[in-house]
Chains A and B, each alone.
Chain A
Amino acid sequence: METAITILLDGLVFSSYLFLVSVGLTIIFGVMKILNVAHGSLYAWGAYTSAYLIGVWSEAGFGDAGTFLMIAVAALVVGCVLGFVLERGLIQFMYARDEVIVVLATFATFLILEDVILLVFGVDPYFAYQPMAYLGSAELGGILRDVYSLTLIGLAAVVGIVLWVGLTQTRWGKLLAAVIHDRELSVAMGIDVTKVYVLTFMLGAVLGALGGAYVAPMVSVAPGFGVEVIVLSFAVVVIGGMGSIPGAAIGALVVGIARAIAVHKLPEVELFVVYGVMAVVLVFRPEGLFAPASARKI
């Protein structure tokens, strides 16, 4: 019984983490049809910035409660600045190119940003334990757990719900739906597609950075931080269906729980499970479990 609860909790925490890092990726793909490899860099930048700011904040002697503010600031600043710069400086020139070439361009961006991180933050790892220490730990199902990692579940839920409502219930969401459905028609209708693209890319970037910023206190932030995340979030997005937010949630849950089971029951297959699921889903449903219906143009 205890293991079942542990597996479930671990799975949920890991799923929440996966959802946070992949939802931005799926939004960008859904709207702009761009598979952004540099998403991993945004995640790493978010983590580094958040760890750095938390360090500065604590050293200045402000209360640990404020470190959460630093996480939010890191995500917003990194996401907005890098998102804007990337979209205007690179992505906007790629809309006419092959999807695969765009993937390569973002891969190049990823390589560049990886090293810029090293140049800015150095090679030594960063530790930002303060938020975790502040929340302490609690007993759940007879096991002591740190509260911080559990808040990840709440954060993922909030992000998911806000995005879902924002995209389905608001005027902005409908505008976005129009652009996704038919770009040319949207232009003809007077929608400023450029603005929609920039904002979407920035939103996706903020979400990626938020994933890193929030995870930073739980781990040591070190070089190569973004590498694994890229393929993991690809797997989640592909499983759920590229461009679908509920899909990203389902994909994250599938991967998260499967991995938690593997870690506890059969650690040898931990990684294998994730990509195995991805391969199986791709083979049987290449468009993913929850692919949004696309307008077919022949």
Chain B
Amino acid sequence: METTRDWTIPGVTVGFAAVAVLGLLFLPDWLMNLTVIAFARALAVVGLMVLWRTGLVSFGHALYFGLGAYTVALLGKDDGISEVLITLPAATLVAATVGLFLGFIVRRYREIFFAMLSLAFSMVLYGILVKTEALGSTDGFNVRTPTFLGFAPEDAGTTLRAIFLVLCALCWTVAVLVHRYLQSTLGRLTTAIRDNEIRVEYLGYSVAQAIHGKYVMSAALAGLGGGILAIALGQVDPDSMVNWTVSGELVFVTILSGPGSVAAPFIGSMIYELIRTYAFEWLPHAWQLIVGVTLLSIIFFLPGGVWSLLARLRRREVE
């Protein structure tokens, strides 16, 4: 078992480098746009994956996703700040801070109660945003065109490419860091907590603290993802950023991806975005049906997500 080399870090490095280079050379705008949306969501899913390994499913991470998105949008409001070097860290920080506070509460809960409490908190934000005229209520408002280290792209195509490159770099960093984290003691305190909290406490580690840390981490990642999505879409509104259906979408991609690897959320998110886009194009009245059937099939036939499928294929190749 020990002898199997861990290819994750070289894998994601080559993977993201290839996506970045090939993307710039060959991807048409619509596909690049799709990739950006998928990767932005994948960042949030990485955090949810860590929670899921711990046995926790949050039906309310749209809260942090939305916080990140609205932070970026608000900073840019009325000719404000558009520099991604400021807006994205701010989005992450705001989400992480709120996660830190709410974490003191949610860390006491498990299973359905954890899911419901997360949902309640996210719906509180939704309820506020929907009724806040200054933030455009249900219509939301526009996000300023971003600048990158002072560089202000002149047309939409260049902006998209710049976002794409920044995002590839961010995703690589997150994947490497989270992978490294998962290999540490704290990282193994995910499945270990899911398996047996009593044993963890009696080994001398606070389960509540461990969960709190993971919760803050997932909040920060969701904030970052939401911030990027806001920039990419050029617009924020409560229904596409904060409503419970957004949380449901994030959980869906988590299940679709599977908890097997940090690379999984990026692949899973890409698959989801493709399914959604094509289903919407071909069968506009049945795309939810297709998504629903996919989710059910995964729950029943592929509980380890698409990653387990890839892992199975690779194992067969080795044999």
Contact = CB atoms under 8 A, between A and B. Distances in A.
Given A119-B286, A227-B245, A100 B112 contact: yes
B251 interface: yes
Interface in A117-156: 118-119, 123
A103 interface: yes
Contact of B255 (A97, A104, A271, A273): A104
B120 A278 contact: yes
B116 A234 contact: yes
Contacts of A279: 117, 120-121, 124
Nearest to B123: A275
A76 B39 CA distance: 45
A235 B126 CA distance: 14
B127 A275 contact: yes
B120 A238 contact: yes
Interface string B239-266: 0000011001001100100000000000
B58 to A, nearest CB: 10
B27 interface: no
Contact of A100 (B57, B120, B244): B57
A242 B300 CA distance: 26
Contacts of A273: 127
A134 B288 CA distance: 38
Contact of B288 (A97, A112, A242, A276): A112
Given A108-B296, A231-B244, A272 B124 contact: yes
Contacts of B233: none
Interface centre among B255, B285, B286 (most CB of A within 10 A): B285
Interface in B115-135: 115-117, 119-121, 123-124, 126-128, 130-132
Interface in B203-259: 244-245, 248, 251-252, 255
A110 interface: yes
Contact of A235 (B108, B112, B120, B121): B120
B174 interface: no
Contact of A104 (B105, B124, B251): B251
A115 B285 contact: yes
Given A104-B299, A109-B292, A279-B121, A274 B127 contact: yes
B190 to A, nearest CB: 15
Interface string B52-65: 00000101000000
Interface string A209-239: 0000000000000000001001100110010
Contacts of B18: none
A111 B105 contact: no
Interface in A152-211: none
Size class of A's contact patch? 35 or more
A271 B127 CA distance: 5
A2 interface: no
A199 to B, nearest CB: 23
Contacts of B109: 282, 286
A68 interface: no
A108 B299 contact: yes
A105 B117 contact: no
B295 interface: yes
B295 A275 contact: no
A59 interface: no
B293 interface: yes
A108 B127 contact: no
Contacts of A123: 285
A108 B288 CA distance: 9
Nearest to A93: B300
Contacts of B291: 108, 111
B131 A105 contact: no
B154 interface: no
B53 to A, nearest CB: 13
Given A111-B288, A112-B292, A283 B117 contact: yes
A107 interface: yes
A123 B286 CA distance: 12
A116 B295 CA distance: 16
Nearest to A280: B120
- Across the A-B interface, give the 7 residue pairs with the lowest CB-CB distance, nearest first: A271-B127, A111-B292, A272-B127, A112-B292, A115-B289, A108-B295, A275-B123
11 contacts: A98-B111, A103-B112, A108-B296, A108-B299, A110-B292, A111-B292, A115-B285, A227-B245, A272-B124, A283-B117, A286-B108
Interface of A: 35, 90, 93, 97-101, 103-105, 107-112, 114-116, 118-119, 123, 227, 230-231, 234-235, 238, 242, 267-276, 278-279, 282-283, 286
